Every structure is written in structure tokens, then in C-alpha cells.
DNA sequence: GTCCAGGGCCTAC
DNA sequence: GTAGGCCATGGA
């Protein structure tokens, strides 16, 4: 039997509890990318409505979104919150995709990973989490996505400092785990599921699968590392 | 009525 | 370089 690192043990525990999550929801890669922008600081339920709104208006292709009227996009995505800035971001992103890559995602994701990430980060409205969500879930690139739940869950468990930088956290995960796209996808999905169910700002630790070994859960003494 | 959600940008210090 | 304000809807 092969010994596993602590992070993989956490993953197995979550997998046992929640099963494979089958993330990211989305019928096409472009829809996944759009969802990554729409979900910024927003409940996914509201994003689903916004995506349905875009779909209903025929705006879920790079070309149609790039040429759409800003007001039309705004009205389609209103439910996702911050709808004015998100409409601008979506249109800008789609225009960039059309102008630079002819709207072709195969060309986009053929670019070298580090260059592609830098390029995404240079776009207005795409920060590290959004860029990495796009790379991992739409592009099948081995980058680990750090979000508020990741920070909260592993901070409370004592793995990391909750105020470590995005870059530091990402290095921690990527250097502690095998570089496996499917693992990265499902692990992040498991973390979000745990976060939504148990590890909110006000934690609901009673039935949390990670409560043993978590500072908030308190069943085990915290390890000083 | 209050809190929170699968962030990111901009400004002031 | 970093803390704080701002963007906004909808469900619990």
C-alpha cells in the first residue's frame, strides 16, 4: 500500500462523503468560461439564471457575445449581481477571444500555459481565481484553483495561513499533490461543496467530515505546524 | 432587516 | 504594498 500525503487524505475523505462532483457545470467550454466570470463573489444559483438568460438570447458563443449590445447582456445577466461590470467584462473577454483567436478555443488553449495565464490576467475583470478556473475547467490545464472556501477550510484546519497570498497557496497545493487535472478539478469541487455545506463564515461543524483535525471542529487538538 | 455568496478593480495612505 | 470601498442580485 502506498502512503498518501495529508492533502490527498483530505481529498479521499471528501470524496467518500460527497462522491465525484462532476464539475464544472456547463454544456460547452465557452459556457464554463462565461460562468467563471459570472460567479465572481456570487451564489451559483444566481449564475445559473444568468447563463440561462444568455442562452435564451443566443449569446453563448464568442462571436454573438462580442457583438452584442451591452444593455442586452446586462439584462440577461442581471440576476448574477454586479451585472454592469460583468457585462463589460464578458463582452471584452469575448472580443479578445474573437480578435486574437478567431473565437476558437482550440487555438486559445494550444498556447503555452504560463503565457496563456498571463494573457488572461491582463484582461480587465479576470483575476487569478477566474483565470485558473478557466484554465482548469475549460482548458484542462493542471492549475489548482484557490478560492475563499479553500482559504477558509485549510486555514481553519491549520494547513495554511488564511492570509497567505494566492500565489503561496497555489504553490502549496500544486507542490503537495500529483499534477493531475482530474484530481485538481474534483478536489476544488469537493472543497466548494464542503464550504457551502459546512464551512461558511459561521461554520456548521457538527456533521463536517473534516471536523476531526480542524481547529473549528475541535475534536482533535490542533497540530502545531 | 441582516448576512452571505465559487472576486476583482481602484484609490488613498 | 496593502487596507478599504465599491460593484448588486437573490436566497437563507
Side-chain-side CA neighbours of residue A139 (13 Å): 28
The answer to whether A42 CB sits below 7 Å from nucleic acid chain B is yes
Nearest residue to A39 (alpha-carbon basis) of A71, A87, A81: A81
Could you give the angle at the alpha carbon of A97 between the alpha carbons of A126 and A179, nearest 5°? 60
Positions in chain A short of pLDDT 70: 1-3, 217-225
Among all strands, which nt has the closest C1' to A87 (CA)? C7
CA of A3 to C1' of B7 (A): 36
pLDDT at A4: 79
pLDDT at A96: 98
CA A102 to each of CA A55, A95, A97, A116, A198: distance values in angstroms, whole numbers, following the listed order: 21, 9, 6, 15, 43
pTM passes above 0.85: yes
The answer to whether A41 CB sits below 7 Å from nucleic acid chain B is yes
The answer to whether A147 CB sits below 7 Å from nucleic acid chain B is yes
pLDDT at A222: 35
pLDDT at A22: 84
Helices (H), chain A: 6-18, 29-38, 44-56, 62-67, 70-77, 83-101, 105-108, 113-122, 128-133, 148-156, 166-176, 181-197
pLDDT, tens digit, for every residue of A93-129?
Answer: 999 999 999 999 999 999 999 999 999 999 999 999 9
Nearest residue to A164 (alpha-carbon basis) of A209, A203, A128, A197: A128
Among all strands, which nt has the closest C1' to A88 (CA)? C7
CA of A112 to C1' of C12 (A): 43
CA of A155 to C1' of C4 (A): 23
Instruction: Tell me A215's DSSP state.
Output: T
pLDDT, tens digit, for every residue of A135-154?
Answer: 999 999 999 999 999 999 99
pLDDT at A219: 38
Among all strands, which nt has the closest C1' to A85 (CA)? C7
pLDDT at A217: 62
- C-alpha R_g of chain A: 19
Amino acid at each position: 500500500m502506498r502512503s498518501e500525503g495529508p492533502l490527498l487524505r483530505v481529498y479521499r475523505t471528501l470524496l467518500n462523503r460527497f462522491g465525484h462532483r462532476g464539475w464544472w457545470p456547463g454544456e460547452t467550454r465557452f459556457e464554463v468560461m462565461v460562468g467563471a466570470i459570472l460567479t465572481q463573489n456570487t451564489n451559483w444559483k444566481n449564475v445559473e439564471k444568468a447563463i440561462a438568460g444568455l442562452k435564451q438570447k443566443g449569446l453563448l458563443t464568442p462571436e454573438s457575445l462580442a457583438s452584442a449590445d451591452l444593455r442586452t447582456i446586462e439584462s440577461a445577466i442581471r440576476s448574477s449581481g454586479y451585472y454592469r461590470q460583468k457585462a463589460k467584462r464578458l463582452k471584452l473577454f469575448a472580443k479578445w477571444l474573437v480578435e486574437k483567436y478567431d473565437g476558437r478555443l482550440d487555438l486559445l488553449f494550444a498556447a503555452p500555459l504560463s503565457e496563456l495565464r498571463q494573457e488572461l490576467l491582463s484582461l480587465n475583470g479576470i483575476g487569478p481565481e477566474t483565470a485558473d478556473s478557466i484554465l482548469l475547467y475549460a482548458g484542462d490545464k493542471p492549475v489548482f484553483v484557490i478560492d475563499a472556501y479553500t482559504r477558509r477550510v485549510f486555514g481553519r484546519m491549520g494547513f495554511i495561513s488564511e492570509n497567505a497570498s494566492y500565489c503561496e497557496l497555489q504553490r502549496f497545493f500544486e507542490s503537495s499533490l500529483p499534477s493531475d487535472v482530474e484530481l485538481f478539478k474534483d478536489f476544488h469541487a469537493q472543497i466548494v461543496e464542503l464550504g457551502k455545506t459546512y464551512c461558511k463564515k459561521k461554520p456548521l461543524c457538527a456533521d463536517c467530515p473534516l471536523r476531526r483535525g480542524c481547529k473549528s471542529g475541535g475534536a482533535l487538538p490542533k497540530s502545531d505546524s
